[in-house]
Amino acid sequence: MSLTVFTNAFLIDCTGADPLEGAAVVVEDDRIKAVAPDGKVGALPGRVTTLDLEGKTLMPGLTDAHVHICAVTENITDQHRYYPPSYIAARAMKRAEECLLQGFTTVRDAGGADYGFRMALEEGHFPGPRLLVSGRYISQTGGHGDKRRRSEWTDPIDCCVGMIGFIADGPDEVRRAARENIRRDVDQIKIMASGGAMSPSDELDTTQFTVAEMRAAVEEAEAVGTYVLSHAYSDMAVRRAIEAGVRSIEHGNLIREAAAQAIKEAGAFLVPTMVTYEAIYREGKRYGSGDHQIAKIDLARQQSLQGLTYAYKAGCKIGSGSDLLGDMATQRAVEFELKGQLMTPMEVLLSATKVNAELFRMQDKIGTVEPGKYADFIVVEGNPLRNLRALQNQDNLKLIMKGGRVFKHTL
Ligand code: ZN
Ligand code: ZN
């Protein structure tokens, strides 16, 4: 048994309660054993490591509901044309490590990573966050997951590791693709319900898949106790996805009141990914994105705050994602500042902890600092409630702990 005690913490426990000054938290092995709001933990048996957090914030490890660790380069449309799966797999593990060192202790991969990546991280072969995988995303022909250029007459790519999906048309093919993913032990199923920015042959403001096709994926997911997350931009695309039973709407930039209301009534989640549009709009050209892609990114960028505002006003559950590609992933924590244009700093932190935990169906294990949960923590120099930007500078992260194991310690 090993005990670690954090003392003198400015504790943001992310339950929604006000922060506490001078709190103490006791960690036993991989779990939180006790939280002492007044800092008094009493006598503790055995070997105890005490860490004084005077002047620093202790909060749960951050979570990101929309990562792509296999987007190892910025140009996801072409990376499979240039690199073998082995290279992509090796670099994906590095991307996972970068994620953890940004303070993110659990992340949901929104397509690309399979269970092998999760296993390699779980077994501790590489440092990285807890990873929830979606395997290969499912897209219609010519949809957001179809990476063929308009000029190409080849069959869709159907193999390997990386940002690769299933192309499926009709409920039966979608069902089969979902079952293949489930056979490969995904945590959830990802589908593409509208056009997207980085895809070569569609537009944002479109719908993709019929409701019946999406429903087939939802039925298969629910049959094994999981759920579907769906890429979707327009109001119509989001409403159709919700009608099919999708639980997690990704992006949602172009929604209006009707889709926001539909998300709310279904008890579904919206996962905005505002930062990626800012990043690609600024830097995409340099990484090889074409004019058509940048124009679509700009449209999404201009409407992302508006989309979030509709969802916020409707009272939707708002999770936190980033969807960053390649080296742009260094900007992951910029998402908080962007959400902070509308949401309070506490709401922003909750979306990246407690709300995401509920979305992941891991609310019993992660997301808040409460006894019995995993000892997933970050210690931050300063107070993120006063300045969300504090989370953007990795030097401010003085300690990163996942499941009781320390991955960074510069206290
Ligand atoms: Zn997407
Ligand atoms: Zn994505």
- The answer to whether the beta carbons of residues 326 and 284 sit under 8 Å apart is no
Q: How far is the CA of 382 from the centre of ligand 2 (A)?
A: 31
Q: How far is the CA of 207 from the centre of ligand 1 (A)?
A: 13
pLDDT computed for residue 77 by the predictor? 87
Longest dimension (CA), the chain: 71
- The answer to whether the beta carbons of residues 194 and 233 sit under 8 Å apart is yes
Q: How far is the CA of 4 from the centre of ligand 2 (A)?
A: 37
- The answer to whether the beta carbons of residues 354 and 368 sit under 8 Å apart is yes
pLDDT computed for residue 205 by the predictor? 94
At residue 156 the predicted structure's pLDDT band, cuts being 50, 70 and 90, is confident
Ligand nearest to the CA of 251: 1
Q: How far is the CA of 253 from the centre of ligand 2 (A)?
A: 13
Q: How far is the CA of 109 from the centre of ligand 2 (A)?
A: 8
Q: How far is the CA of 378 from the centre of ligand 1 (A)?
A: 28
Ligand nearest to the CA of 134: 2
Ligand nearest to the CA of 230: 1
What would the mean pLDDT of 397-410 be, rounded to a whole number? 98
pLDDT computed for residue 204 by the predictor? 94
Q: How far is the CA of 254 from the centre of ligand 1 (A)?
A: 13
Percent of the chain predicted with pLDDT > 90:
92
At residue 213 the predicted structure's pLDDT band, cuts being 50, 70 and 90, is very high
Q: How far is the CA of 72 from the centre of ligand 2 (A)?
A: 13
Q: How far is the CA of 105 from the centre of ligand 1 (A)?
A: 22
For the record, the structure tokens of 283 come out as 């830097």
Q: How far is the CA of 250 from the centre of ligand 1 (A)?
A: 6
- The answer to whether the beta carbons of residues 143 and 192 sit under 8 Å apart is yes
The whole-model pTM stands at 0.98
Residues 350-375: tens digit of each pLDDT: 999 999 999 999 999 999 999 999 99
Q: How far is the CA of 293 from the centre of ligand 2 (A)?
A: 14
Q: How far is the CA of 16 from the centre of ligand 2 (A)?
A: 28
What is the residue type of 143? Answer: G
Ligand nearest to the CA of 66: 2
Q: How far is the CA of 304 from the centre of ligand 1 (A)?
A: 13
Q: How far is the CA of 390 from the centre of ligand 1 (A)?
A: 27
Q: How far is the CA of 155 from the centre of ligand 2 (A)?
A: 23
**Is the pLDDT confidence value at 246 over 80?**
yes
Q: How far is the CA of 251 from the centre of ligand 1 (A)?
A: 7
Q: How far is the CA of 103 from the centre of ligand 1 (A)?
A: 23
Ligand nearest to the CA of 71: 2
**Is the pLDDT confidence value at 23 over 80?**
yes
Q: How far is the CA of 86 from the centre of ligand 1 (A)?
A: 24
Residues 274-314: tens digit of each pLDDT: 999 999 999 999 988 899 999 999 999 999 999 999 999 99
pLDDT computed for residue 222 by the predictor? 98
Q: How far is the CA of 110 from the centre of ligand 2 (A)?
A: 6
pLDDT computed for residue 313 by the predictor? 98
Q: How far is the CA of 196 from the centre of ligand 1 (A)?
A: 6
Q: Where do we find the tokens 């998402």?
A: 335
pLDDT computed for residue 157 by the predictor? 83
**Is the pLDDT confidence value at 67 over 80?**
yes
Q: Of 84-93, 195-204, 259-268, which gets the smallest average pLDDT? A: 195-204
Q: How far is the CA of 249 from the centre of ligand 1 (A)?
A: 10
Q: How far is the CA of 327 from the centre of ligand 1 (A)?
A: 18
Q: How far is the CA of 49 from the centre of ligand 2 (A)?
A: 40
Ligand nearest to the CA of 163: 2
